[in-house]
Structure 1
Amino acid sequence: MAARYSVAVAPDQTPTIRDLRDLPDLWLLSDARNDAALERSLAALPDSSGFLFRHYHLAEPERRARFEALAVLARKHGHLVMLSDSAARAREWGADGVSGPAERIAGAGMLAVATAHDDAEIAAATSAGAHAIMLSPVFATRSHPGGTALGATRFHALASRSALPVIALGGMDPARARELGWSRWAAIDGLTAASPPARNA
């Protein structure tokens, strides 16, 4: 783990909130649709950002191999590498932490970012021992077309009631982050580096 994210571990092996003052502001999420651009995107992120590996579309052998390859690159830039899976698998694969719904990250014994969509899920994440919340969907998103977005007002209301750091997710990009007035956010498309222009033949 990069020095910035050296999480002091309590006797119960669970990091404490005071150790997360430097939780990354920017979080790149992996997905089938941005896979081809991930190497470029990880290099383009500011150093010491967050990388959440998902890649649910791959079977385990291929998924682990892709995780390991990207983790090496991510750590060259000081990025925090999280796995969206069970805590047991996150430890087995050498991730810096785990992400998922409250029931999956409960008692993780490692850095845990819980997903949440409402007050009840925020409360469940807090009770489960999460260290941060990824709250979504803030805006309309390609991942869930037709889904109901929280919108800025609802997002801020929920975030204000969270005792944990909140990461905004869903339709986020730099312009939306400024519109929302929120510096800590995550995205698939919004942080995926554009392909370089093709050279003329």
Structure 2
Amino acid sequence: MRRLYSGAVPRAKTLPALWLISDARNDAVIERALAALPRGSGLIYRHYHLDGAERLARFRALRRAAKARGHVVVLADSALTAREWGADGIYGAPRALWPRRAGLIHLATAHDLAELGLAARLGADAALLSPVFATRSHPDGKTLGAVRFRLLARQTRLPVIALGGMTKARARALRWKGWAAIDGLSR
């Protein structure tokens, strides 16, 4: 795994710089996308479209594929479920990650400076700041844009992961190592 830096002081924990996020729209190609990621990348498993046993079964299959490539697997669910399912961490809004659970990676969602601050105060390991660019999920939604993203990301000591309309080319243009995508890593 490569060390991920925010614009400020790096934290001691080493996190993947690249994260694939699962969704109903990339489910058919997600195994291929996982295999194409550099070793030691990350998977954030959401699959909100599946219920109960079906969601667990799909998680297990994707965890197996991810672990075969040395990837970190984070679950969008509770710490209890993450432990039961064998995930490496949890993903969600900052308050959903509290209280901090030892042994799990905590990835917080953030959309503004207040949420970045809350994520840091509640002990998140990193924050996914979004949306940087327009996305298929929210095509008409307000975006941060490159300049605002970089300004916000530099205001926190947390590692910041760019999310929202991200592709390899956009990450390079943004000059930001840590990024995550659904479509941008699934094509």
TM-score where L is the length of structure 2 = 0.92
Alignment of 1:58-97 (within 5 A): 58-97=50-89
Q: 1:112 aligns with which of 94, 98, 106?
A: 106
CA distance in structure 2 between the partners assigned to 1:29 and 1:36 by the alignment: 13
Query: Which stretches in structure 2 are left out of the alignment for 5+ residues?
Result: 3-10
Question: What SS class does the counterpart of residue 146 from structure 1 fall into?
Answer: coil
Correspondence for 1:37: 29
TM-score where L is the length of structure 1 = 0.85
Correspondence for 2:137: 143
Question: What SS class does the counterpart of residue 169 from structure 2 fall into?
Answer: helix
CA distance in structure 2 between the partners assigned to 1:45 and 1:117 by the alignment: 26
The one-letter amino acid of 2:121's match is S
Moved segments of 4+, more than 6 Å: none
Question: What SS class does the counterpart of residue 157 from structure 2 fall into?
Answer: coil
Alignment of 1:98-177 (within 5 A): 98-109=90-101, 110-177=104-171
Deviation by residue 1:80-134 (Cα, 9 ceiling, x = unmatched): 0000111111111110000100110012312101000001101111111101010
Q: 1:185 aligns with which of 173, 179, 186?
A: 179
CA RMSD of aligned residues (A): 1.2
| Identity level (%) | 58
The one-letter amino acid of 1:185's match is W
Query: Which stretches in structure 1 are left out of the alignment for 5+ residues?
Result: 6-16, 195-201
Correspondence for 2:41: 49
Correspondence for 1:10: none
State the 1:168 CA deviation: 0.2
Q: Which of the two has higher C-alpha Rg?
A: 1
Higher relative contact order, structure no. (Cα contacts within 8 Å, ≥ 6 residues apart): 2
